[in-house]
Structure 1
Amino acid sequence: MMHNFLSNNRDELINRCRTKVGERRGRSATERQLREGIPLFLDQLIRTLQIEQTSTPMDSRRISGPAGGGTALSEVSVSAAQHGKDLLELGLTVDQVVHDYGDLCQSITDLAVERDAPFQIDEFRTLNRCLDNAISDAVTEFGYQRDTIKADDNAVESNKRMGFFAHELRNQLGTASMAFAALKAGNLSVNGATGSILGRCLQGLDKLIASSIEDVRTLGQNSIILDSFSLSEFIAEIYAATSLSKGANGCSFNAPQVDPDLAINGTRDLLMAAVANLLQNAFKFTQPHTEVFLTAYAAGDRIIIDVKDHCGGLGIGVAESMFLPFSQSGENRTGIGLGLTIAKQSVNANGGTLTVEDLPSVGCIFKISLPRHAMPT
């Protein structure tokens, strides 16, 4: 089995990856990366393969994420995102991010050929899934961090332009003021030389303002600041409130820890109401003695809040209509069918999206996607 092969040859594979990194031009690695980057991913891959040999193979998704590239919180997604961020801090390019995981894949393939190790097709599929998810999350975080740096640089450049504008504005205004004072003190005609100076200064002021008005308007639009608040505190508050009022069907409620450095902008009360409505819906329809999950995490320039239940799946055509007002598709018809409609409107009002993903025979995941912001200082 592949997991036995990887476990038995773990050190050899890590050494081969280190060698490939050392041979790649322009690539260096810190001690932390050598300890926590590819070695950590290799351990996650081994655990994924081990779980998929048990009676509950789908539990491996909590470690390595689902197939198909959908956004989901997993151990691989968290560590891969950190790996992408580390590589950016080293000044590397996005292709180096891809190469790091490609090194491991190549090392596994080479060693398997050398040792004549037979693997099953499903094991290769799992390997590809883990690599795809790791590369996707690493590249996404790399891109987000790079864009954030560019945005900061643009802000500095914008401040410089505004400084130049103010400087030129002051020069023109100063000359115009002196010309006006001279005209007034000497009782001079505005048709003379001093009057011409005043006229040219006024024309210069007009040109400065005309050339900068669009930048000023854009800056004003981009500087509209909504409430910015901690995502972890937001989820903790929801968890505390929901734990007191969850359903009475014996189901449990789980909300994993959220990265304390993440923040969102928006109307807190509206977003709180949206998540509360999704949780109320989850507790209403989840099957007895199952579990409801509330997770929140970063995916590139987005913040994702997932509410996952075990309702047994949505069925054909249900997902398309469930956000419509007064829509009720389950056997439980308590309420008036507006909770999901209100949730979607609240999320949309904050510049986000609300979608639902069907997990046939298992349940569904309601997914809120909001713009990602830095933690307020």
Structure 2
Amino acid sequence: MMHDFLSNNRDELTQRCRIKVGSRVGRSATEGQLKDGIPLFLEQLILTLELEQTQNPLDSRLISGPAGGGAALSEISVSSAQHGKALLGLGLTVDQVVHDYGDLCQAITDLAIERDAPFQVDEFRTLNRCLDNAISDAVTEFSYQRDILLADACASASNKRMGFFAHELRNHLGTASLAFSAAKSGNLTLGGATGAILERSLQSLDRLIVSSLDEVRAMGESTHVLGVFPLSDFIDEVSGAAALSASKYGCTLTVSHVDVELALAGNRELLFAAVANLLQNAFKFTRSGTEVKLSAYAAGDRILIDVADRCGGLAPGMSERMFLPFSQCGANRIGLGLGLTIARQSVVASGGDVVVRNVPGVGCVFTISLPRNKVST
């Protein structure tokens, strides 16, 4: 009888399966799975075969489930589902889940041939039914859990992109609104400096929307265009747009002289967004009545852009945590907590990086580092 054969050779079959599973390429079996998973299925298979030799053979369905597939609660369905979920946690694929049960079937077949063990046709059918149900439930649970993880990942990425888009829209719209209010309250014409800020903000809004539409059309393909442009003109444009925000927060913006011979290579729109977000962050946290300082200069083969504030300094552990999405470390919780994340990602897209240096009791200095270029003549 097959159940006697399995019972008498339980340890041998378990060891063979462990060797097959443990040595298969790409299969990282945990000690717990090798110790418990195979013996548990063997125990359920043996009990099923034994029950089918009694006067109530259909009782075996409570252990191994019915033939022909279909959802049904059984001991094998529960343990197989747990096995499939565990394999997903190891980063395995569906075919590797199927191979786990195939290894056991192969081990039984090989050992039966070696020992010349005679099995009845009905016993083979029971073995196949148990394996089919186990594989089906394991794969079903594996796929379900995987789909949940993929859906969560897609939703998280979509929410992050939407958050970035809304954050940048609000920044440009805020600058445009401040420029409009300044022009209106001061009875200014739109042909002056304030009108130029308003115009640039509206243009930035247009480019942001167009870029987002291009991204949708391209299904995620990068549409970023890199170019070389003068550093001094870039800093003038960023500081001009940011000066209105500084006054709103009760601080001043001081801009250091920039060498006209220096140039940046990168995506101008992304870098503009990066510096603008660093300035907005500085205005938000610097103490009222103090200054935020913007400096841009060369250091060897790098261009460094510093944004120094007077926030009083950073708490321990904040230097890296503050760059995480939706992270709001200070008492001021206005906004989404995306500004610094956008700044770093925008700079990285142009081959640079952003770091922060703490000045205890004074504030902090955010530094953008980018490759150095020279203005072409």
Question: What interval of TM-score do these two structures reach, taking the shorter chain for normalisation?
Answer: 0.5 to 0.7
SS of aligned partner of 2:85: helix
What's 1:95 paired with? 95
SS of aligned partner of 1:168: helix
The offset of 1:36, in angstroms, is: 2.1
What's 2:169 paired with? 169
Find the aligned partners of 1:189 and 1:136 in 2 and give their Cα distance: 73
Unaligned stretches of 5+ residues in structure 2: 217-377
Find the aligned partners of 1:128 and 1:142 in 2 and give their Cα distance: 21
Corresponding position: 1:136 with 2:136: yes
* TM-score for the superposition, normalised by structure 1: 0.52
Find the aligned partners of 2:155 and 2:38 in 1 and give their Cα distance: 35
What's 2:12 paired with? 12
Find the aligned partners of 2:53 and 2:190 in 1 and give their Cα distance: 93
Find the aligned partners of 2:100 and 2:4 in 1 and give their Cα distance: 23
Pairwise CA RMSD: 2.3
* AA matched with 1:181: S
The offset of 1:127, in angstroms, is: 0.5
Residues 184-333 of structure 1 mapped to structure 2, 5 A cutoff: 184-190=184-190, 194-195=194-195, 197-198=197-198, 201-202=201-202, 205=205
* AA matched with 1:97: V
Find the aligned partners of 2:70 and 2:145 in 1 and give their Cα distance: 20
The offset of 1:190, in angstroms, is: 4.0
Kindly provide the CA deviation profile for residues 228-286 of structure 1, in whole angstroms up to 9, marking residues without a partner as x: xxxxxxxxxxxxxxxxxxxxxxxxxxxxxxxxxxxxxxxxxxxxxxxxxxxxxxxxxxx
What's 2:146 paired with? 146
SS of aligned partner of 1:25: coil
Kindly provide the CA deviation profile for residues 71-95 of structure 1, in whole angstroms up to 9, marking residues without a partner as x: 0000000000111111111122211
What's 2:112 paired with? 112
What's 2:178 paired with? 178
Corresponding position: 1:33 with 2:36: no
The offset of 1:39, in angstroms, is: 1.1
Kindly provide the CA deviation profile for residues 84-135 of structure 1, in whole angstroms up to 9, marking residues without a partner as x: 1111111222111111100000000000100111111111111111000000
Kindly provide the CA deviation profile for residues 151-184 of structure 1, in whole angstroms up to 9, marking residues without a partner as x: 2222321232122113211221122022213312
What's 1:68 paired with? 68
Find the aligned partners of 2:197 and 2:35 in 1 and give their Cα distance: 70
What's 1:324 paired with? none
Find the aligned partners of 1:30 and 1:196 in 2 and give their Cα distance: 64
Find the aligned partners of 2:206 and 2:71 in 1 and give their Cα distance: 51
What's 2:3 paired with? 3
The offset of 1:31, in angstroms, is: 2.5
What's 1:274 paired with? none
Find the aligned partners of 2:151 and 2:36 in 1 and give their Cα distance: 29
Find the aligned partners of 1:104 and 1:84 in 2 and give their Cα distance: 15
The offset of 1:205, in angstroms, is: 4.5
The offset of 1:189, in angstroms, is: 2.9
Find the aligned partners of 2:2 and 2:129 in 1 and give their Cα distance: 14
Corresponding position: 1:80 with 2:80: yes
If you compute each CA radius of gyration, which structure gives the higher value, 1 or 2?
2
SS of aligned partner of 2:87: helix
* AA matched with 1:26: G
SS of aligned partner of 1:55: coil
The offset of 1:29, in angstroms, is: 2.1
Find the aligned partners of 2:148 and 2:118 in 1 and give their Cα distance: 45
Find the aligned partners of 2:124 and 2:103 in 1 and give their Cα distance: 16
Farther off after superposition, 37-46 or 89-98: 89-98
SS of aligned partner of 1:91: coil
The offset of 1:207, in angstroms, is: 7.4
Farther off after superposition, 92-101 or 25-34: 25-34
Identity of aligned pairs, percent? 77
Find the aligned partners of 1:206 and 1:131 in 2 and give their Cα distance: 60
How many aligned positions are there?
Answer: 213
What's 1:57 paired with? 57
SS of aligned partner of 1:70: coil
Find the aligned partners of 1:67 and 1:208 in 2 and give their Cα distance: 58
Farther off after superposition, 147-156 or 70-79: 147-156
What's 2:121 paired with? 121
